[in-house]
Amino acid sequence: MEDFSQKAKKSFKMGLDFLQKKAKEQVDRAKLQTQLTKVKEDKQQALITLAERVCVMFDMDTFSPEELKDSVESVREFQQQILDLEKQIQEVVQGDESHEDEPPQA
């Protein structure tokens, strides 16, 4: 009888560990999605600011690409952050999918 009890405890613990891991993956994914949304919004705002600066320069007939380098670099940095976050999300999703078919082993 004790053997059955030990197996049941082991099975329960493995199931609990599996569920905890799945929950952590979902939380990680949600955090990354939130960060991705924020960075996309920041990039959008940086693009708007850049466009406004370009328009003002053209209106004043003082277009200077040198003065736009910081804004362009900012947009590029946001784009790189977006790519990095999308890659991290994909890794979490792939990790999540690889564990879906793995029920806890007793």
What does pTM read for this prediction? Answer: 0.73
The widest CA-to-CA distance across the chain, in whole angstroms, is 89
Residue 7 lies in a domain: no
Residue 3 lies in a domain: no
Residue 13 lies in a domain: no
Number of structural domains (the chain) is: 1
CB atoms within 10 A of CB 28: 16
Average pLDDT, the chain: 88
Percent of the chain with pLDDT strictly greater than 70 = 88
Question: Quick one: tokens of 61?
Answer: 């007939």
How far, in Å, CA of 79 to CA of 71, rounded?
12
Average pLDDT over residues 69-83: 97
Side-chain half-sphere of 2: how many Cα atoms within 13 Å? 0
Question: Quick one: tokens of 34?
Answer: 């939130």
Collapsing DSSP states into helix, strand and coil, what is residue 61? coil
Tell me the pLDDT band of 5, cut-offs 50, 70 and 90: confident
Q: Which residue has tokens 């976050």?
A: 85
Residue 2 lies in a domain: no
Residue 6 lies in a domain: no
Statement: residue 103 has pLDDT above 70: no
Domain containing residue 59: 26-99
Residue 104 lies in a domain: no
